[in-house]
Structure 1
Amino acid sequence: MGIWWYADPPPRHVILATGLSGGSYEALGKKYADFFAKKGVTLELMPTNGAQENLSRLSDRNDPVQAAFVQAGVAHPKTTTGIQSLGAIGYDPTWFFYRGAEVNRADFEVIQGHSKYFANRKISVGVEGSGTHAQAMRILKVSGLDRTNLQLLELPGDQAVKALKGGEIDAAFIVDAFEAPNIQALLTDPTLHLITFRRAEAFAKLIPYLQILKVPEGSFSLEQNFPNEDIKLVATTTNLLIDDRMHPAIQFLFLEAAREINGRESFFTKKGELPSFKDSLLPESPVAIHYEKNRYPLITSYFPFWLAELINRLIFILLPFLVVAYPALQVLPSFRTRRMYNKINRLYGELKAFEQELLTNFDQSKQDEYLKRLDLFEYQALNINVSKRLASDYYALRTSIDYVRSCLNRGALLSVRRWG
């Protein structure tokens, strides 16, 4: 039980904040939950109102949410604390769809704060607090558009799609992945048009976390030759953010899930391109940096997650201990041997001094006192716990004590003194 405590086992239940119900983040979260389930960990998905709520919940040290999908640019590094990034796991282009007759591109240009198109249209910019809203408002701001008299509606993604298709609104900003159902529904609708970013490089300069995505002519639909020319889109990235107190093993599990789920080739990404640190506005997790260089320990290929993690943690704890303990263990037997050898030598020295005392100052009347001192020597010798290596020295000491006692009983020491 003590070893298990020191090994700091990872939790079996983790909460991931996704986004609005029915959105692409919820679908992505379900894939992560399936991956975690295979590893014996329950990943609970927590629907939220969007990126801003996800950040607030991660920052709250008392909130049980430990991870969240958040678009880059929503978090402000100077005001966000207690959160780390496991990296970017996907591209979320900024799509602007409008209905009706195709409009001249020049009508979208902002001149002295005004645009011909935006002046009299109902346009959805996403729910406040969502990634779509944050990116749409940022783009409108850097464009210099005066928003005073604009009819900007805050609709969730699925409602914006229905309203646009039904003619209730004129246009909509949606920030989502190419594969998202909402985006596919709009791309395949021939009554809708897509505005592209001809000045994508300028937007990327003004908004540093934006990525530029190139779309070749006809790549959305060869049959309809859509788009009818090479275009550029600006995109943010979906970042996998975590509470900085998250257990390292769970971080590794998230990174493994990201590599398996988001690391596949897609419309805008090459195989193995993600996860990566493309726009690390927030502190990067040390675990993620280690993972990017070394991947997950090889031991996980041969053992279930829990057993592999326990072995890995025990190795982490025991290896440094053994590095220190092994030399000590090597020294310990010789240290004990030296202590026993020193005790034997000390008694030898005392016995020799006693023998010399008898030779020089022998007094027959003190015979009993001399024998008691020899008995004390023998008692001290008997209390020495010796190893086999020192057995010969030990018994030699006891033999020497018996020899002196025998000489003393036979009066041999007195005779030697007389002859001396």
Structure 2
Amino acid sequence: MGSFKENVKETFLGLSESAQEKRIDFIQFLQETWPLLIFLLMVLMGIWWYADPPPPRHVLMASGSSGGSYEVLGKKYVEYFAKKGVVLELMPTNGAQENLARLSDRNDPVQAAFVQAGVAHPKSVSGIQSLGAVDYEPIWFFYRGPEVKGSDLRVLHGNAKFFANHKISIGVEGSGTHTQAMRIVKATGIDRANLQFLNFSGDQVVNALKSGEIDGAIIVDAIESKNIQALLADPSFHLLTFRRAEAFTKVIPYLQILDVPEGSFNLVRDFPSENIKLVATTTNLLIDDRMHPAIQFLFLQAATEINGRESFFAKRGEFPSFKDSLLPESPVAVHYEQNRYPLIANYLPFWLAELANRLIFILLPFLLISYPMLRSLPGYRTRLMRNKINRLYSELKAFEYELLANFDISQREEYLKKLDLLEYQALTIQVSRRLASECYSLRTSIDYVRNCLNRGVQPYQIVQADPGMQAPTEQVTQAPPL
């Protein structure tokens, strides 16, 4: 028994030889089967290309009403898509209900839209999936005139002093603002008999407030909206605080509480004059469920780049998320949330990364399936290698027949050269171990014919009888059958 060191050395030597043998066998496999592999790959790629076409270069997105935060956010997405070589076209709409209707319409070219959480009920829409929430949309209540006491704004037992005597805009019917406003009105139980609710769009409500046409307005929009910024910058408007914010989030579960510290909107005029709470819904990025996965990944990347930054209300990396998703989540978004985009996308342009990613996902399974499948084909490789041996046997047999019919002693050197060529071809045949004996048998047969040619009396030559002697029987000696 050898020493431990010798045993370890022999073990590693055996493993190395086995790995080398497998490597050589695999290379030989590729050399022998590459036409079949290419054919199978082309068939597979054709099926894959038909079943999963490349992503489109032009995408339509509903952006909502003019002047709103969706328009501002949508333009940022347009710039991001342009860097990736994709045209994202924004389509202005009248609000959330139109966005949902267009996404649900299987004949409408719109494939994406920003919609507030809570606007769409899962049972009322179909063919729509969510890529997650991408931003907060506070529910703002601005009013003009002198500041009103909190008790006058609070709704108790269906009554509120402020609302009974003033004109309030609650957004255009069909918009997200109108939907959220009506849910709050319903949740508070306010008596609507004496209310003066008006419907102004986002870009109209600021002018209506400034002109005195209305006394207050409920607006659901992001803080970056130019309408919200115009109202926050005007000292003649006051902002309602939701003192019962926690109660609202219990009654309307998708709402979030946002804390606004004193003076955070404007330190110079100390606005707000105290810490306040706002309730907010979220901006959901909704898509047609038939959208190409690569475009979904691109939207999610854009959301991470644009909405994942720290903002007035959001922490860094807070969006995109599924914190209040009421609609079915896209499987692509779930995968992205867990794994992010493949690393290759960080180093290659979008189209090249997408092509490489698609090829990787088809080539790897193809190699994993085709290699063992082709190796397991009954006798495929054995027949392939044996055919090479048999072809040389056929050439050797034809050569012997030629010697029998037309043997010329002066051509002996040429005959030997031809045998040397046959032997070289036999040496260069790459065969598996189990067929090595047949290869050696072929070389033995070639060597037998060479020995016959090198004899003093050639076995392939007809021997003529001497005239003075009894004629012997003509005899032809040839190599044993192969």
Number of positions where the alignment pairs a residue of Structure 1 with one of Structure 2: 374
- Cα separation, partners in 2 of 1:37 and 1:388, compared to 1, 3 Å: closer
Matches within 5 A, 1:167-206: 167-206=212-251
Is residue 2:440 matched to residue 1:392?
A: yes
Is residue 2:134 matched to residue 1:89?
A: yes
1:138 to 171, 177, 183: 183
Larger CA deviation: 52-61 vs 17-26: 17-26
2:275 to 230, 234, 248: 230
Percent sequence identity over aligned pairs: 70
1:39 to 74, 84, 93: 84
Whether contact under 8 Å (1:218, 1:225) holds in the other structure is yes
CA RMSD of aligned residues (A): 3.0
Q: Residue type matched to 2:109 in 1?
A: P
- Cα separation, partners in 2 of 1:411 and 1:13, compared to 1, 3 Å: closer
2:324 to 264, 279, 283: 279
Matches within 5 A, 1:107-186: 107-186=152-231
Separation in structure 1 between the aligned mates of residue 62 and residue 255 of structure 2, nearest angstrom? 23
- Cα separation, partners in 2 of 1:163 and 1:388, compared to 1, 3 Å: closer
Separation in structure 1 between the aligned mates of residue 203 and residue 430 of structure 2, nearest angstrom? 85
Secondary structure, counterpart of 2:333 in structure 1: helix
Separation in structure 2 between the aligned mates of residue 125 and residue 343 of structure 1, nearest angstrom? 85
Residue 271 (structure 1) shift: 1.4
Matches within 5 A, 1:330-349: 330=375, 335-337=380-382
Is residue 2:315 matched to residue 1:270?
A: yes
Separation in structure 1 between the aligned mates of residue 79 and residue 386 of structure 2, nearest angstrom? 66
Secondary structure, counterpart of 1:67 in structure 2: strand
Separation in structure 2 between the aligned mates of residue 119 and residue 339 of structure 1, nearest angstrom? 93
Larger CA deviation: 145-154 vs 335-344: 335-344
Separation in structure 2 between the aligned mates of residue 106 and residue 340 of structure 1, nearest angstrom? 95
Q: Residue type matched to 1:164 in 2?
A: L
Secondary structure, counterpart of 1:303 in structure 2: coil
Structure 1: unaligned runs, 5 residues or longer: 346-384, 413-420
Partner residue in 2 for 1:67: 112
Partner residue in 1 for 2:70: 25
Whether contact under 8 Å (2:262, 2:272) holds in the other structure is yes
Partner residue in 2 for 1:324: 369
1:256 to 280, 301, 304: 301
Residue 22 (structure 1) shift: 2.6
- Cα separation, partners in 2 of 1:312 and 1:411, compared to 1, 3 Å: closer
- Cα separation, partners in 2 of 1:127 and 1:341, compared to 1, 3 Å: same
Secondary structure, counterpart of 1:281 in structure 2: coil
Q: Could you give the per-residue CA deviations for residues 19-52 of structure 1, whole angstroms, max 9, x where no partner exists? A: 0123221121111111101111010101000011
Residue 103 (structure 1) shift: 1.3
Larger CA deviation: 332-341 vs 29-38: 332-341
Whether contact under 8 Å (2:260, 2:277) holds in the other structure is yes
Larger CA deviation: 325-334 vs 192-201: 325-334
Q: Residue type matched to 2:440 in 1?
A: S
Larger CA deviation: 195-204 vs 323-332: 323-332
Partner residue in 2 for 1:221: 266
Q: Residue type matched to 1:248 in 2?
A: P
Separation in structure 1 between the aligned mates of residue 351 and residue 388 of structure 2, nearest angstrom? 52
Secondary structure, counterpart of 1:117 in structure 2: helix
Secondary structure, counterpart of 1:186 in structure 2: helix
- Cα separation, partners in 2 of 1:388 and 1:34, compared to 1, 3 Å: closer
- Cα separation, partners in 2 of 1:392 and 1:18, compared to 1, 3 Å: same
Residue 223 (structure 1) shift: 1.7
Separation in structure 1 between the aligned mates of residue 314 and residue 179 of structure 2, nearest angstrom? 24
Separation in structure 2 between the aligned mates of residue 158 and residue 256 of structure 1, nearest angstrom? 30
Whether contact under 8 Å (2:72, 2:225) holds in the other structure is no
Secondary structure, counterpart of 2:118 in structure 1: coil
- TM superposition score normalised by structure 1: 0.82
Q: Residue type matched to 1:81 in 2?
A: S
Greater relative contact order: 1 or 2 (C-alpha under 8 angstroms, separation 6 or more)? 1
Partner residue in 1 for 2:57: 12
Q: Residue type matched to 1:286 in 2?
A: P
Residue 342 (structure 1) shift: 11
Is residue 2:122 matched to residue 1:77?
A: yes
